[in-house]
Every structure is written in structure tokens, then in C-alpha cells.
């Protein structure tokens, strides 16, 4: 019997900060930093950083839904972001840092839309939820130095998180 493997793709601002929350959990096979949703084939980091390629910085998670469900991934995704900010995330500004859930099948779309509505109905936020729910687009793996950045460069990762305002926001809004 072959196990079913799926992908989940999330944009949550800088992809460096989006890997660690999903990394090394039971049922998570791989978390890869990359680019998706743009109009340039095989973009480089420099292409995306300029902000005119249309791509989001994303993480693509390969997972076994029998061990870690898509709903559990969504439940982990939302508290990593400010879903009301349409101009980027924290100190990272620009379209490449916007938030989005890229769904890979109809069930993921339904679950993502329902989870977004649950956040909107929760009363946690005064402003509207602007995170987009979009069909999966071609995924381009980011350069190797971006992969598992939190492990390769722990001091820079920690410093970036501290100055970004991400952790302060998460503590204030998501009670982690």
C-alpha cells in the first residue's frame, strides 16, 4: 500500500521565518523555500527581491496527511503571520512578502477558505483578513543558501526575527 503524499504551499513573508515552524514534525517530509505565483520563469532571489516578478516568497511543504493533516498545517500557518497586512509582513515590505495559501486540490481550497473565515470571525483582528487563497502556481526552489536558513545561520536568523517584529506580533495576537 502506497501512502498518499501531498504538498502545501504557504506565503508568509520572508521564507526564512516560515520554515522552522513546520520543520521536523511527524508526517512532514520536506519544507523547501522558494518562489511561486509570479510571471517570470525560474526567477532568482534577485528577481523576486526587486518586487516586479510577481512571485511570493513561499514554503512548499511535502507531507503525509495520514500523519499530519492539511488542517493541522493551516492551524500552524495562521499564527505565523499578520493576515491583515497587504503590504508585506512585519519589516519585510513589498508584494513578494504578501501572505497567501496556495491550494493544490479542491479539498485544500475548501479547508483554506473555511480556516480564513474562522480567523475573520474570531474577532482577533480589527482590520479585514487579506491573505489570499489561490490555486497552486509553478514552484521554483530558492537558492541553496536560503534552504533551512534557521539551521545554517542561527544567529542571523534569530537577529532577523528579533528586529522584524514578527515574534512580538505573534505573542500579542496569537497567545503562543
pLDDT tens, position by position, 71-117: 999 999 999 999 999 999 999 999 999 999 999 999 999 999 999 99
CATH number of the domain that residue 90 is part of: 3.30.1060.10
pLDDT score, position 1 = 46
CB 67 within 8 A of CB 27: yes
Which region, left, alpha or beta, applies to residue 4 given φ > 0 means left and ψ of -120 to 50 means alpha?
beta
Given a cut of 70, whether residue 152 has pLDDT beyond it is yes
Is there a contact between 146 and 15 (Cβ–Cβ < 8 Å)?
yes
> Which residues are annotated as catalytic?
14
Per-residue pLDDT at 2: 53
Residue-averaged pLDDT of the chain: 94
Answer yes or no: is pLDDT of 142 > 50. yes
Query: What percentage of the chain exceeds 90 in pLDDT?
Result: 86
| 62-73 pLDDT per residue, tens | 999 999 999 999
Averaged pLDDT for residues 11-35: 95
Residue 38 lies inside a defined structural domain of this protein: yes
Q: How many domains does the chain have?
A: 1
Separation of alpha carbons 143 and 105, rounded Å: 27
Per-residue pLDDT of 107-127, as tens digits, reads 999 999 999 999 999 999 999
pLDDT of res. 176: 53
Give the SS3 label for residue 5. Answer: coil
Is residue 51 over pLDDT 90? no
pTM summary value: 0.95
Residue 174 pLDDT class (50, 70, 90 cuts): confident
Please state whether beta strands 132-135 and 99-103 pair in parallel, antiparallel, or not at all (unpaired). Answer: parallel
Residue range(s) defining the domain that contains residue 145 = 6-174
Q: What is the pLDDT of residue 154?
A: 92
Please tell me the predicted confidence (pLDDT) of residue 109.
98
C-beta pairs of 44-51 under 8 Å, 24+ apart in sequence: 44/143, 45/142, 45/143, 45/146, 48/96, 49/96, 51/94, 51/95, 51/96
- Asked if residue 1 is part of any domain, the answer here is no
CB-based contact 137:60 (threshold 8 Å): no
Amino acid at each position: 500500500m502506497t501512502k498518499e503524499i501531498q504538498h502545501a504551499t504557504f506565503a508568509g513573508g520572508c521564507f526564512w521565518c516560515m520554515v522552522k515552524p513546520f520543520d521536523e514534525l511527524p508526517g512532514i517530509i520536506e519544507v523547501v523555500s522558494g518562489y511561486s505565483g509570479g510571471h517570470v520563469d525560474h526567477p532568482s532571489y534577485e528577481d523576486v527581491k526587486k518586487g516586479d516578478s510577481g512571485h511570493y516568497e513561499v514554503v512548499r511543504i511535502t507531507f503525509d496527511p495520514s500523519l499530519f493533516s492539511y488542517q493541522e498545517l493551516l492551524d500552524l500557518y495562521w499564527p505565523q503571520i499578520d493576515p491583515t497586512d497587504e503590504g508585506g509582513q512585519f519589516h519585510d515590505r513589498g508584494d513578494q512578502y504578501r501572505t497567501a495559501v496556495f491550494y493544490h486540490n479542491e479539498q485544500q481550497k475548501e479547508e483554506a477558505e473555511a480556516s480564513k473565515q474562522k480567523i475573520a470571525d474570531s474577532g482577533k483582528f480589527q482590520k479585514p483578513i487579506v491573505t489570499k487563497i489561490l490555486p497552486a502556481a509553478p514552484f521554483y526552489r530558492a537558492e541553496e543558501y536560503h534552504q533551512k536558513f534557521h539551521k545554517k545561520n542561527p544567529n542571523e536568523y534569530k537577529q532577523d526575527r528579533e528586529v522584524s517584529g514578527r515574534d512580538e506580533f505573534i505573542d500579542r495576537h496569537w497567545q503562543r
